[in-house]
Amino acid sequence: MNFTRRRFAQSLAASAALSRLPARALAQEQPSAPARKFGYCIVGLGRISLGHFMPACRMSQTCQVAALVSGHRDKAEKTAAEYNVPLKNIYNYQNFDEIADNPAIDAVYIALPNSMHAEYSVRAANALKHVLCEKPMATSVKDAQNMIAASKAANRKLMIAYRCQYEPTNLHAIQLIRDGRLGVIQAIESANGFNEHAGEWRLDKKLAGGGPLMDVGIYSLNACRYLTGEEPASLEAYCSVIDKDTRFRDVEETCSWTMKFPSGILASCNTTYGANMPGFFRVHGSKGMIHMEPAFAYEGLRLTAKIQGEPPIDEPNQQKDPYQFLLEADDFADCCIHGKEPKANGEEGLRDMQYMAQIYKSCGRSLG
């Protein structure tokens, strides 16, 4: 497929039209009842849910915020008023399992510290609710496997919030590679990191499971997999702590790793909590190169490419946050309503957990 700007715009229009289908499908399935939107129960009222996912649901024609789970009743009531959530649909972590009795809840969106992902995913599945869980999937391979098993036993969908796999600029980069425009791919470079503040839960291994690899390095890991369409055959890694300022007593400060894919493609990745490291990837092929920076941010993404015999490509993405969250929220709702398997399903999240365990083992560390 020749992915022209016109075709790219057409694909976005088609995606927007598709996102409106589930609400109509609900009306068809329940002709005697008024159509309603797909209901998300938000588990954890932190920055990512309040600042990104919930505003996306408010923009959606397919889904809505139907319930809240929080340990702070006053905060939950204030949020409920903003999103027209009935007070009876506010839960805490003690009575969470009562969501099973609420037909307004179709799925949960889990935005808790990493170490809590598995417990509340399993409990949600046991309550017969679909699960959209933030990445990383869990803090151990075993927990990730338990999440998959619970969802399958309940016959419910499980998706990991790899929003970049649904984002049009990342998809365009993948298409350029799949169409052979870059020739034979040789190497990939990627990095992502920032300077973390002392006292954040991400620096507590019991809550986070690891350091920057688990939080932002996972973007580079996952990107190398979806760009190549392959799984790494081997990897080697190093971790280090450079700043001796007590922030990194539990987790690594910086992690670097290399991967070799079955085709021979080599990838080199870096992540850190010790410096601002804008998220990017660069793909080198025999006919050209693509560079995406920012590649993993919530907005402002930009794709450039230099390909032999073609005009240079420079495509800034004008979509604003929370557009990426809208795409993943709508897509998961569509999968649940129509019985389709999510692209970023539990098995996808499990694979990254397994690779991160290997990376830490190569560094002489452990996951979780």
Per-residue three-class SS string for the chain: CCCCHHHHHHHHHHHHHHCCHHHHHHHHHCCCCCCCCEEEEEECCCHHHHHHHHHHHHHCCCEEEEEEECCCHHHHHHHHHHCCCCHHHEECCCCHHHHHHCCCCCEEEECCCHHHHHHHHHHHHHCCCEEEECCCCCCCHHHHHHHHHHHHHCCCCEEECCHHHHCHHHHHHHHHHHCCCCCCEEEEEEEEEEECCCCCHHHCHHHHCCCHHHHHHHHHHHHHHHHHCCCCCEEEEEEECCCCCCCCCCCCCEEEEEEECCCCCEEEEEEECEEEEEEEEEEEECCEEEEECCCCCCCCCEEEEEECCCCCEEEECCCCCCHHHHHHHHHHHHHHHHCCCCCCEHHHHHHHHHHHHHHHHHCCCCCC
* CATH 3.40.50.720 residue ranges for the chain: 18-163
**Which residues are annotated as catalytic?**
135, 219
CATH superfamily label, 18-163: NAD(P)-binding Rossmann-like Domain (3.40.50.720)
Say if pTM beats, i.e. exceeds, 0.85. Answer: yes
* CATH 3.30.360.10 residue ranges for the chain: 164-317+346-362
pLDDT tens, the chain, 368 aa long = 333 344 434 444 434 443 333 333 333 343 334 479 999 999 999 999 999 999 999 999 999 999 999 999 999 999 999 999 999 999 999 999 999 999 999 999 999 999 999 999 999 999 999 999 999 999 999 999 999 999 999 999 999 999 999 999 999 999 999 999 999 999 999 999 999 999 999 999 999 999 999 999 999 999 999 999 999 999 999 999 999 999 999 999 999 999 999 999 999 999 999 999 999 999 999 999 999 999 999 999 999 999 999 999 999 999 999 999 999 999 999 999 999 999 999 999 999 999 999 999 999 999 99
CATH architecture, range 164-317+346-362: 2-Layer Sandwich (3.30)
